[in-house]
Structure 1
Amino acid sequence: MPTQPLGPLRILYIEDDPDSQRLVQRLLEAEGYAVSIARDGLAGLELARQVRPALVLTDINITGMTGHEVATRLKEMPETRHAPVIALTAATLATDRERALVAGCDGYITKPIDVDTLPRQIARFLAGAREKVADDVKLQRLEEYRDSLVGRLETTVAELQKANAELRRMDKIKRDFVILAGHELRTPTTLIYGYTHLLKMELQQIGVENDRVTDMADRITAATKRLNEVVDAVINMSLIDSEQIELTLRPIQVENLLYSITQELQPVARQRQLTLSLADLSGFPPLPADEKYLRRALTNLIDNAIKYTPDGGAVAVEARLEGAALHLIVADTGIGIQPDE
């Protein structure tokens, strides 16, 4: 038997009716007990693990798990297996009492609550009193309880399967929408990109030199390219989430790939007075990978390092070979990530 903690004994009351909660809490606190309240069975079990009550009061007809199921679980949990579990319920039939006791309750108190006798009943159960069921009745009630648990399990499994099917349906609708929207967005962005390129060619052919128009065309081209990258990223995330992404693996020279990426990002780094360096990766073996997706992942990683590094800082790209594993490292002088994140 675990030793009782110092201070007032704590009682956990599992009840979904606010009026009953207030009445019992005020009554027991007036008697010197500490009272914790839970609104349903699952919340009651979690709270029981935290507060380790000396006694548990539970209604039978509560949301989620029933009071019977809560009592059964409390008697299995190491934090509460020694604590008396008392049913406090409006069900007054003898069979209701018997079902509660065989499920794991140690006592049975009926509503409406008698404010004069409840404190004495609580004290009696804390002192070791326990109610029992006759052996000839116990087996019958246990069979009824078993049948009810199997029935609830069957119903719950059917509901979960139905909910899972609905979630899969909604997920497919979302995935199809994202892919369709992505393809629909690609069409106008491709046209914008193409016509902007034609505009620049036309200006060159007719011999018109207009730096302002050329600059605007370059900005449109860059923005369109960025929009295409965002659309691709959204589609890829949808494919990854649905495990439908297809990878084309082939040997990739990591040195060449990282050199190409860092060269593309050098102008961005120079605008921020950042030093973007690449270690000597010559001699590293080819890496089997999908070049398109690996390039995108590494570009995002290095681009984020540049984005979150203060002006004048440094971003270094390195690699380390350990056995058959190749570790790619992007180190920067930015704010970093907290260890707990």
Structure 2
Amino acid sequence: MAEKRTILYIEDDAHARNLVRKILQRDFDVLTAQNGLEGLDILKQRTPDLVLTDLNLPDLSGEVIAARIRAIVGEGLPIVAMTAHNEKQVRERALAAGCIGYITKPIDSRTLVATIHDFLGGRTEQLGEADQRRATKEMQATLTSQLEQTVRKLQEDNAELRNLERAKTAFLTQVSHELRTPLTVLSGYIQMLCQQLQADPTVNPRYVELANMAATGLQRLHTVMNEVVVMARLAANQVDAFMAPVLIGDVARQAIEEYRTALERRRLRLEMSGDCWEQVIMADAALLRLAFSNLISNAIKATPDGGAPIGFHIGKQADVLHVRVSDHGIGIQPEQLRLLFKPFYTNIDVNRGRTSKTDFMGMGLGIGLTVVARIVEAHNGRAWASLLIVAVALG
């Protein structure tokens, strides 16, 4: 039995798409796409014997699709336009764009299979030289108009996105101000309560533990709130980085000290290496410390209790300052590396992880490394990741 020839049908109307597939599937292997871009994606993976395409698609016109197909596979693939418009001008533009013919709608189910066989057998419809020139000129004018409309729509969408971004940043900033004062007051009272409970030997130890848990939770909430606001403001270029000469080693050591207790509790060791710890750079010390803190937290969460040492390296490559934080923990798949700095991405199973900046497999909002990347970019640097290392280069 001869192998069926393949037809790719591009049509946004589901009813028409299903109808044509049912009519053709006994004689042909039918691939379908619901828009032009999907059709082009299919074409790049598998070359059919013939393409049927509607001329009025929501994303790309039939003329554009025909031109793109010709650019991808050349002149050998027959393209047949399907249109409900029977005007001579529409048909001529389709032929000028590279179609070998057209089929008018509504579809005649009795003749469609035979018509497809005719086109596969070499049937073509051609324009006269004068008609070809005129149709090509009209098609170019149509494509230019479509391009102008697309550019205008993109400009409008970009303006709307910028307005939404400004509104989001303003909202987050306002929320942070509204929350910061009561959080600060509450944290102060909780700290006082913890101190008083710890100083009273008659207090039930469970109450001391609960008070400490409340203090830790408030601190975590405060940290998350700050990270969200910093990320939003950095994304909107609304953070004023207070650049001043700073000793990078001092900033790194301050960030490391934040996790001293957690490292001891988890039986982990952090090893410092490199020969540029005493390097003075122009930086915003507070932002840089936040970036280093997030890098360390990320490595701690990826390392099991008592696991291999975490590395913190400050050195130079080609006169560019590099900071590398490495771990030998849970690892990451190579295809996930490009996603690490995307907002809200995490490679930890949300069903297994728990909220923590220092526990093994601890969960966060998935913005820690995004904040790192934005801070580094504000310092004219870049951030990247390999299988074991997250690194930054500072300009």
User: What TM bracket, shorter-length normalisation?
Assistant: 0.7 to 0.9
User: What's the CA shift for 1:219?
Assistant: 4.9
Matches within 5 A, 1:69-88: 69-75=64-70, 77-88=71-82
Counterpart position of 1:89: 83
Instruction: Provide closer, same or farther for how the CA distance between residues 98 and 177 of structure 1 changes in structure 2, counting only shifts above 3 A.
Output: same
Say whether the 8 Å CA contact 1:52–1:80 is kept in structure 2.
no
Instruction: Provide closer, same or farther for how the CA distance between residues 299 and 283 of structure 1 changes in structure 2, counting only shifts above 3 A.
Output: closer
Q: Counterparts of 1:38 and 1:218 in 2: how far apart (Å)?
A: 59
Q: Counterparts of 2:92 and 2:277 in 1: how far apart (Å)?
A: 78
Deviations 1:2-49 (A, max 9, x none): xxxx95322111122333323332333322x22111112222222222
Matched, 1:9 2:17: no
- SS at 1:101 equivalent: helix
Name the count of aligned residue pairs: 332
Matched, 1:118 2:112: yes
Deviations 1:143-174 (A, max 9, x none): 33233223323333332222222222111111
Matched, 1:155 2:149: yes
Say whether the 8 Å CA contact 2:176–2:225 is kept in structure 1.
yes
Instruction: Provide closer, same or farther for how the CA distance between residues 92 and 255 of structure 1 changes in structure 2, counting only shifts above 3 A.
Output: closer
5+ residue gaps, structure 1, are 1-5
Instruction: Provide closer, same or farther for how the CA distance between residues 266 and 98 of structure 1 changes in structure 2, counting only shifts above 3 A.
Output: same
User: What's the CA shift for 1:201?
Assistant: 8.1
**Sequence identity percentage:** 36
Deviations 1:258-309 (A, max 9, x none): 3333333121111122223334757742233221111111112112222221
Q: Quick check: 270-279 or 37-46, which moved more?
A: 270-279
Say whether the 8 Å CA contact 1:252–1:288 is kept in structure 2.
yes
Matches within 5 A, 1:50-199: 50-75=45-70, 77-196=71-190
Counterpart position of 2:15: 19
Say whether the 8 Å CA contact 1:14–1:38 is kept in structure 2.
yes
Instruction: Provide closer, same or farther for how the CA distance between residues 120 and 285 of structure 1 changes in structure 2, counting only shifts above 3 A.
Output: same
- SS at 2:73 equivalent: coil
2:313 corresponds to which letter in structure 1?
E
Q: Counterparts of 1:203 and 1:10 in 2: how far apart (Å)?
A: 78
Instruction: Provide closer, same or farther for how the CA distance between residues 106 and 296 of structure 1 changes in structure 2, counting only shifts above 3 A.
Output: same
Q: Counterparts of 2:80 and 2:238 in 1: how far apart (Å)?
A: 53
- Of the three residues 29, 32, 35, the one matched with 1:34 is 29
Instruction: Provide closer, same or farther for how the CA distance between residues 279 and 18 of structure 1 changes in structure 2, counting only shifts above 3 A.
Output: closer
Q: Counterparts of 1:260 and 1:35 in 2: how far apart (Å)?
A: 64
User: What's the CA shift for 1:109?
Assistant: 1.9
Counterpart position of 1:264: 258
5+ residue gaps, structure 2, are 337-395
Counterpart position of 2:299: 305
User: What's the CA shift for 1:180?
Assistant: 0.6
Instruction: Provide closer, same or farther for how the CA distance between residues 102 and 198 of structure 1 changes in structure 2, counting only shifts above 3 A.
Output: same
Q: Counterparts of 2:136 and 2:318 in 1: how far apart (Å)?
A: 60
User: What's the CA shift for 1:243?
Assistant: 1.8
Deviations 1:223-242 (A, max 9, x none): 43333222221111011111
TM-score under structure 2 length normalisation = 0.74
User: What's the CA shift for 1:217?
Assistant: 5.7
Matches within 5 A, 1:150-299: 150-196=144-190, 219-279=213-273, 284-299=278-293
Largest Rg, 1 or 2 = 1
Counterpart position of 2:43: 48
- SS at 2:56 equivalent: coil
Instruction: Provide closer, same or farther for how the CA distance between residues 192 and 123 of structure 1 changes in structure 2, counting only shifts above 3 A.
Output: same
Q: Counterparts of 1:142 and 1:281 in 2: how far apart (Å)?
A: 66
Q: Quick check: 163-172 or 137-146, which moved more?
A: 137-146
Instruction: Provide closer, same or farther for how the CA distance between residues 321 and 95 of structure 1 changes in structure 2, counting only shifts above 3 A.
Output: closer
- SS at 2:259 equivalent: helix
1:266 corresponds to which letter in structure 2?
R
Say whether the 8 Å CA contact 1:98–1:133 is kept in structure 2.
yes
Q: Counterparts of 1:23 and 1:222 in 2: how far apart (Å)?
A: 63
TM-score under structure 1 length normalisation = 0.85
Instruction: Provide closer, same or farther for how the CA distance between residues 286 and 102 of structure 1 changes in structure 2, counting only shifts above 3 A.
Output: same
Q: Counterparts of 1:169 and 1:283 in 2: how far apart (Å)?
A: 42
Counterpart position of 1:315: 310
2:219 corresponds to which letter in structure 1?
K
Q: Counterparts of 2:106 and 2:213 in 1: how far apart (Å)?
A: 76
Q: Counterparts of 1:22 and 1:282 in 2: how far apart (Å)?
A: 66
Deviations 1:107-161 (A, max 9, x none): 1222333344333332232233211112233333333323322332333333222
Say whether the 8 Å CA contact 1:259–1:278 is kept in structure 2.
no
User: What's the CA shift for 1:185?
Assistant: 0.9
User: What's the CA shift for 1:175?
Assistant: 0.8
Q: Quick check: 138-147 or 40-49, which moved more?
A: 138-147
- SS at 2:96 equivalent: helix
Q: Counterparts of 2:150 and 2:276 in 1: how far apart (Å)?
A: 59
